[in-house]
Amino acid sequence: MSLETSFERRSLPLEYPFGISRGTTTEIEVVYVRIEDDDGTTGLGAAAPSTHYGETAATVAAVLPDLLAVVESVGDPHQLERIERRMRETVRKNPAARAAVSIALHDLVTKRLEVPLYRYWGLDPAETLSTSYTIGLDDTERMREKTETALERGFDTLKVKLGTDRDLEIVRTIRSVAPDVRLFVDANEAWTPREAVRKIDRLAEFDLAFVEQPVAAEDPEGLQFVSERSALPIAADESCRTLADIPRIADRCDIANLKLMKCGGLREARRLISAARAHGLEVMCGCMNESNASIAAACHLAPLLDYADLDGSLLLADDPVDGVPLADGRIDLAALERSGTGAGFGSS
């Protein structure tokens, strides 16, 4: 068997400027990857690189020829473990680039087998959940308006970005218009440990599910300090990048937040979930601002998760790629009417 590979960069505008404690984004640049077999079946994946983790669309494009050369040299897309091992040996870093290839391979393999990815993994599509919808940092009134729009669209779980001197005001305002939704907040490393404990004490009165990444990833002792004193459960995101991080965070948080763009692929994501369970952690799968070309694959992990934060494609002004149905935010794997991950340009 021979495989043909290609990739392309594309810029996608966001529906609203997306603000977190580190800055605001108005568009993203993704890198689409295609892998085609002899019969013309094509697997689709995408990288959504983050500069916070040292990647850009340019760095992804720079290493993809080497990664795709591995795929072509192996030739058999079903040898997923061999390919991903050799990709890690070829490119040690650049997890988003490796994730794009991993997603495209899994899409191709499951299309060849004519099954959706969740069935290939032996998962029950009924054991799913809803994704949260993220309210990015903005002025407080604008965040209230975004919350009202999310409620109108049917979302029952909201994630609110914090990391300002008005965090309490923001949460109070959002709770006033969304009293019944499941709500959690994400500080994106913005607080000091003592500041985090003080703020969480105040935020706890608003019935929050948990607090995500309150302190810097480079401060594991600070994360432990907060976790031991927090009035709410703590999720680790920036502190949880790869499988090796799970034992390091296991006694310092309650929830491990994995992302395909951080861990480097779907097989690694499955290993990370298993390790987190073994350490007694709950598991969330999050995302960057992404296209359905990568979000769709992550949605197939839903039966293995406690929480899903897979709204990356929903935050785009327009996503050229279709994915897993997400009506009202529910990850509806059973409604998927195509094999593979469900990702495809238009009606392809």
Q: What is the pLDDT of residues 283-323, one digit of tens each?
A: 999 999 999 999 999 999 999 999 999 999 999 999 999 99
Q: How far is CA 56 from CA 23, 50, 94, 166, in A?
A: 16, 6, 9, 31
The CATH number that applies at residue 244 is 3.20.20.120
User: How many structural domains does the chain have?
Assistant: 2
How many CA atoms, within 13 angstroms, populate the side-chain half-sphere of residue 189? 12
Phi/psi region, residue 212 (left: phi>0; alpha: psi -120 to 50; beta: rest), is beta
User: Does position 134 have pLDDT exceeding 50, yes or no?
Assistant: yes
User: Does position 15 have pLDDT exceeding 90, yes or no?
Assistant: yes
Domain span at 313: 119-345
pLDDT score, position 185: 98
Give the pLDDT band (50/70/90) at residue 193.
Answer: very high
pLDDT score, position 346: 78
Residues 50 and 154 in one domain: no
Nearest to 111 by CA among 40, 30, 47, 46: 40
| Mean of the per-residue pLDDT values of the chain | 97
Residues 296 and 222 in one domain: yes
Residues 82 and 135 in one domain: no
Residues 62 and 182 in one domain: no
What's at 255, amino acid-wise? I
Three-state SS for 67-96 is: HHHHHHHHCCCCCHHHHHHHHHHHCCCCHH
Domain boundary among the residues 54, 81, 114 is at 114
Token output for 111? 């299309």
Residues 25 and 173 in one domain: no
pTM score: 0.97
Residues 173 and 258 in one domain: yes
pLDDT score, position 107: 98
- Asked if 16 contacts 146 with a C-beta cutoff of 8 angstroms, the reply is yes
Domain boundary among the residues 52, 82, 114 is at 114
The CATH number that applies at residue 103 is 3.30.390.10
Residues 152 and 220 in one domain: yes
Token output for 235? 């999720």
Residues 179 and 270 in one domain: yes
Task: Give the single-character DSSP code of 26.
Answer: E
Q: Give the percent of the chain with pLDDT over 70.
A: 99
pLDDT score, position 196: 98
User: Does position 338 have pLDDT exceeding 60, yes or no?
Assistant: yes
Burial class (CB in 10 A: 0-12, 13-18, 19+), 237: buried
User: What pLDDT digit, counting tens, does each position of 97-128 carry?
Assistant: 999 999 999 999 999 999 999 999 999 999 99
> What average pLDDT does range 39-54 have in this prediction?
96
User: What pLDDT digit, counting tens, does each position of 56-103 carry?
Assistant: 999 999 999 999 999 999 999 999 999 999 999 999 899 999 999 999
**Which phi and psi (to 5°) does residue 43 adopt?**
-95, 140
Domain boundary among the residues 114, 129, 153 is at 114
Query: What's the CA gap between 116 and 85, in Å, rounded?
Result: 24
Residues 249 and 171 in one domain: yes
User: Does position 347 have pLDDT exceeding 90, yes or no?
Assistant: no
User: What pLDDT digit, counting tens, does each position of 236-286 carry?
Assistant: 999 999 999 999 999 999 999 999 999 999 999 999 999 999 999 999 999
User: What pLDDT digit, counting tens, does each position of 149-162 carry?
Assistant: 999 999 999 999 99
pLDDT score, position 348: 47
pLDDT score, position 171: 98
pLDDT score, position 174: 98
Residues 281 and 296 in one domain: yes
Burial 88-105 (b: 16+ CB within 10 A, else e): beebeebbbbbbbbbbbb
> What average pLDDT does range 158-167 have in this prediction?
97
Residue bearing tokens 């999050």: 286
pLDDT score, position 1: 82
> What average pLDDT does range 212-217 have in this prediction?
98
Query: What's the CA gap between 298 and 308, in Å, rounded?
Result: 9
Residues 209 and 240 in one domain: yes
- Asked if 304 contacts 324 with a C-beta cutoff of 8 angstroms, the reply is no
Q: Give the percent of the chain with pLDDT over 90.
A: 98
Residues 276 and 339 in one domain: yes
> What average pLDDT does range 29-43 have in this prediction?
97
CB atoms within 10 A of CB 78: 14
- Estimate the crossing angle of helix 80-90 against helix 266-278, to 10 degrees: 90
